Amino acid sequence: MGLIFIRTIIVFITLLIVMRLMGKRQIGEMQPYELVVTLIISELAGIPMSDPSIPLLYGVTAILTVFLLHQIVCLLDLHFKPVRAIVSGIPSVLLNKNGIDEKELKKNSLDVPDLIESLRTEGYFALDAVDYALYEAEGTFSALPKVNYQELQKSLPVILITEGKFDEKNLSFTRRDKDYYLALLKKRGVKQKDVLVMTIDGNGRVYLQEHGKKYQIIELKWEKTLW
């Protein structure tokens, strides 16, 4: 029993560390320790139940140990802030009034298309439609939209450039070639390789952000709406 007790503690802590290292993307809507409990509790209950040669007490001990650890982590999570940050993690501000925070994005193993996709699921299609976008500790997104955000997303923005590379498919939607956009970048003194993200909507509204710089909005004033 003592062995099972210690072994369960080791497995619990190992899984918790692994889950925290894997990042929020693996979690879904649970806190890391809640996911660990969910992952191991069914196995703990199942094995002694199906194998009569293992004393049922082994399963009970392991389950009780998991319960004990869960309660301890819950308590620490609620009352000790530094422990909370270690065990559950803290929300990350991925997008602020200056645009995308690249550092935070990388820290959370995300890229720009991931962020745009997550914002879309929240109902925000333009990157400048929100003032702040947060990646919560349990792996969900939340955003604080601008007051007039509906006016900023009249047409669906598509990614033209991410990490300095053109998206050929989206480029064809705009009915303009690379040179057109390279000339636009050149005019603004921006090199293609320095572009973190460049999106464009059907009205020719461009969101451009260079690595480590504040984003800028460019209105291309096309004659007609393309999509």
Partner 1 sequence: MVKTLISIFIALGVLVGASLFELYYVQKTFSLLTEVLFTLHDKTEAQTATIEDGTAVRQLWEEKKDSLQIWLPHTAIQEIDYQLYEAVGFICVRNYENALPKLEVVLGMCENVPETYSLRLKNIF
Residues that bind partner 1 in the complex, under the rule CB under 8 A: 1-3, 5-7, 10, 52-55, 57-58, 61, 64-65, 67-68, 71-72, 74-75, 78-79
Relative orientation angle of helices 2-22 and 32-50, to the nearest 10 degrees: 140
The CB-of-74 to partner 1 minimum distance in angstroms stands at 6
Return d(Cα 227, Cα 212) in angstroms, integer.
31
Looking at residue 91, its amino acid is P
* CA distances from residue 69 to 40, 76, 105, 144, 160 in whole angstroms, order as listed: 12, 10, 31, 36, 48
Nearer CB in complex with partner 1: 48/157: 48
The CB-of-52 to partner 1 minimum distance in angstroms stands at 7
Nearer CB in complex with partner 1: 54/90: 54
Nearer CB in complex with partner 1: 8/92: 8
* CA distances from residue 170 to 14, 94, 200 in whole angstroms, order as listed: 43, 24, 9
- Confirm if 209 and 166 have CB atoms less than 8 A apart: no
The CB-of-27 to partner 1 minimum distance in angstroms stands at 23
The CB-of-44 to partner 1 minimum distance in angstroms stands at 14
Nearer CB in complex with partner 1: 2/189: 2
